[in-house]
Amino acid sequence: MSNAMAERLAAIQERIAAACARSGRGPDAVELVAVSKTYPPEDVDSLARLGCRIFGESRVQEAAQKIPACASGLEWHGIGHLQRNKVPLAIALFSRLHGVDSLRLLERLETCAAEAGRSIQVCLEVNVSGEASKYGFAPDAVPAVLDYVPSLRYVQVDGLMTIAPFTADPEDSRRHFCRLRELRDAWVGACGWPLEVLSMGMSHDLAVAIEEGATMVRVGTALFGPRPKPGEDV
Ligand SMILES: *Cc1c(COP(=O)(O)O)cnc(C)c1O
């Protein structure tokens, strides 16, 4: 088991390093978020022993059960759509959220983070493809959200996230990743503070995402093996 895990991790690290090299960046330019949703604590611990430090969960309830059963000292990110009633628990569990997709959620995060005395890092999810099934802000809605960000004290909006529509050929994802980077560059120019994190790329399209500027990739099945049951949103 652990051997297969080590081989899968090595293969991912090679894909990341090769894509970084192709895009003229160092191999450390990209952080790997190991998406452990649906996998047991033993798998997390195996990857932690192999050096993985950041893990992503999409359901708050599942994370609340799993995290205490895993090795300590790991960094946990919430990667899925978050319901507002789960915000206090999400703040207690996660140091970063990748899927923040409404102003009301951002407001609720600020209130609860202030109450908890904890800060949280946030990527705004942007629906660049316009696919109706996807969560995320429409690109047009983001500038108004960015105007609101300086008033936040506990929520640090420092990046953007997107999920490309699944297609057999990862090259089809390129234009969506490229678009998110271009939007980011334009918004940063207008708002004047950096949005350094670009969370984009999953098991099948991480190389293309890195070539287009991803700084975090969220990888599940390519690391852990086939998923025991389908992952659900929070
Ligand atoms: C499940 C999930 C992933 C990982 O998907 P894989 O295809 O298993 O790598 C990445 N991001 C989000 C938001 C997810 O829900």
- Complete domains list, the chain, with CATH: 2-224 (3.20.20.10)
pLDDT tens digit string along 38-49? 999 999 999 999
- Average pLDDT over the chain, rounded to whole? 94
Q: What is the pTM of this model?
A: 0.95
**What is the Cα–Cα distance from 124 to 146, expressed in whole angstroms?**
10
72-to-68, 75, 98, 220 alpha-carbon distances in Å: 8, 9, 22, 20
SS3 32: strand
Share of the chain above pLDDT 70, in %: 96
Share of the chain above pLDDT 90, in %: 89
Return the closest-CA partner of residue 95 out of 113, 69, 77.
77
| Residue ranges around ligand 1 (CB below 6 Å) | 35, 37, 58, 79-80, 163, 202-203, 218-222, 231
Burial of 3 (0-12, 13-18, 19+ CB in 10 A): exposed
SS3 163: coil
User: Which single residue is written with the structure tokens 């287009």?
Assistant: 212
In this prediction, residue 2 has a pLDDT band, given cuts at 50, 70 and 90, of low
Specify the higher pLDDT residue, 226 or 98.
98
SS3 124: strand
Contact call for residues 58 and 231 (beta carbons, < 8 A): yes
pLDDT tens digit string along 139-184? 999 999 999 999 999 999 999 999 999 999 999 999 999 999 999 9
Return the ligand 1 atom nearest residue 98 CA.
13
Contact call for residues 183 and 128 (beta carbons, < 8 A): yes
Q: Candidates 202, 203, 208, 219: which one to mutate for ligand 1, based on the most atoms within 8 Å of Cβ?
A: 202
Return the ligand 1 atom nearest residue 58 CA.
15
pLDDT tens digit string along 31-73? 999 999 999 999 999 999 999 999 999 999 999 999 999 999 9
Contact call for residues 203 and 219 (beta carbons, < 8 A): yes
pLDDT at 134: 82
